[in-house]
Structure 1
Amino acid sequence: MFNNSKIGAICYYVSDVDKTEAFYRDALGLDVQRMEDDGSGNDWLLAKTGNDIELLFFQQESRPGNSPIIVFDLPEGGIDDTVNALAEKGVTIVTPVSHAPGGWSAEIADPDNHQISMYQSDELPRKAQ
């Protein structure tokens, strides 16, 4: 049934759209668009990843576990530098760079404590060259 399907969007529930917008725009560098009221009296956010997967953010009760964990692939490597740059911006590092199957991973938390993971292949350099 889903074998030819592609993920089109990942939805998050967030407690504060303004904080979420600033985090994903300023800390992660995504182009975040504020969309008009969704009928709940709140604006919502749309951001697209490099491979056109949409991240949607709706203001609603939020708690860890009621939203998915997304994984950003780092195709150019440099996971150590990426994590260090995020830490300098005040981003919470949940899991520092550690070995993962076939590579390296690390996890950070957004303002609602949703985990965001990064992954890079062990064939790529851990630091920028």
Structure 2
Amino acid sequence: MKSNRVTFLGDVKLKQGSININADKLIVIRNADNGKIEEIEGYGNVATFSQLTDEGKTLYGEAKELYYKVRDDELVMINKAMLSQDDSEIRGSKIRYKISSQKLIADSEGKGRVSTVLQPQAVQQE
């Protein structure tokens, strides 16, 4: 393969480990030296991302644009972005999520707001 960038069109489904990405258009970018995947870009009316976490919970995200940076273990969602886990969700024009540390930054555009719904965790009784 001469190019380090491969584009897939249509109802594209990608699975890498516990990560699933679905999009209308998917671009996979590989490192020129070692051939490893560096970044996955997903575009569509709704591009989706899901991952089964180490705790067995499903993390789900959607936006018109998804950028998964493999080396940084970071997901960036742009344009009508939403990220949810359990019954909690956050919405904004842009969400940046560091997967390994489970930290996120959400932004809005103009006078828009970031919307958050947080559900309390069940208290374990001994």
**TM-score computed with the length of structure 1 as normaliser:** 0.28
Structure holding more strand per residue: 2
Structure holding more helix per residue: 1
Which one has more relative contact order, counting CA pairs under 8 Å at least 6 apart?
Answer: 1
**TM-score computed with the length of structure 2 as normaliser:** 0.29
